Amino acid sequence: MFTGIVTDIGEIATVAPGGQAGAKAGDRRFVVRTKHDMKPIAIGASIACSGCCLTVVEKGGDWFAVEVSGESLAKTHLGDWAAGSRINLELSLKLGDELGGHLVYGHVDGVGKVVSMTPEGGSVRFVFEAPADIARFIAAKGSVAIDGISLTVNEVDGNRFGVNVISHTQAVTTLGQAKVGQRVNLEVDMLARYVARLLEHGKS
């Protein structure tokens, strides 16, 4: 479990076909460079990589390796990653840690895209477009994780929604280098899913 507060911008060092025993065709192995001290992080630990919860299968002093299934590659934008790609990283939440964002599970619901970016004072107003089956869970003043970043929704217009991203968030996440048309991983707030489910049951 995570909070959506990015703790490092990692960089993809290498991409290769899945190398673990039992890996299927289409699986991939990524080596990620990081500023995190990897010594206390165990093999098998979870790290959120641009919003996708991945398992550390190997590590060094300033890098770690993960295996990603073909299914995950198809349902996230991890399949777009190449050597040099920059990604948001967050270590898993420990009991007693500050919950600075909202509860994020690292289970990507779908892939959206950046529609526009408009400077507003010291921040930038981003408009994102979400797939229809995900957009119904996004509400004004609610939370959403975009590439693993916990953000508050300002307004919703059909399948599109806007958020204001302050300069600090731009500086410490990949949103600082975002471009119109770029694909982003989306995870909706789990509370929104439960509320929608309850409402559906109430109508039946």
**Lowest pLDDT segment from 100-104, 158-162, 182-186, 188-192:** 100-104
Q: Which long-range contacts (CB under 8 A, 24 or more apart) does 39-46 make?
A: 41/91, 45/91, 45/92, 46/92, 46/106
**Measured distance CA(144)–CA(97) in Å, rounded:** 20
> Which domains are delineated in the chain?
8-91 (2.40.30.20), 110-203 (2.40.30.20)
Its pTM stands at 0.89
Give the length of the chain.
204
Reference 179, options 117, 122, 124; nearest CA is 117
Q: For residue range 113-160, what is the model confidence (pLDDT) as tens digits?
A: 999 999 998 899 999 999 999 998 998 999 999 999 999 999 999 999
**Measured distance CA(76)–CA(152) in Å, rounded:** 21
| pLDDT class of 26 with cuts at 50, 70, 90 | confident
